[in-house]
Amino acid sequence: MEDYIVMAAMYPTMTSGKVDKYLVRKGDKVAPGTAVAEIISEGYFTLLSEVEGRVKEFYVMEGDYVEVDSALIEVELAEKD
């Protein structure tokens, strides 16, 4: 099962941002609160994961601008016991 890390609004009027740098790679484990990307949009922000699992795929390249709520990273969810 998969889920996605999306471009979150870093402030109330944010509509888009630039993915400056990813802080994770394919296969890395992430959990809620894990820093996954540095975002530029009227400031420099760190995007945090809201899901737990392994990074499976990137949908946006570093340097690209994307709208808020766009999927950036596909995460294969951790198995629940």
pLDDT averaged over every residue in the chain: 94
Banded pLDDT at 78 (limits 50, 70, 90): confident
Percent of the chain with pLDDT over 70: 98
Residue-wise pLDDT for 20-56, tens only, equals 999 999 999 999 999 999 999 999 999 999 999 999 9
pLDDT of residue 1: 74
Fold of 2-77: OB fold (Dihydrolipoamide Acetyltransferase, E2P) (2.40.50)
Q: How far is CA 79 from CA 21, 51, 60, 67, 72, in A?
A: 28, 12, 26, 30, 22
Domain ranges within the chain, ordered by starting residue = 2-77
pLDDT at 81 over 60: no
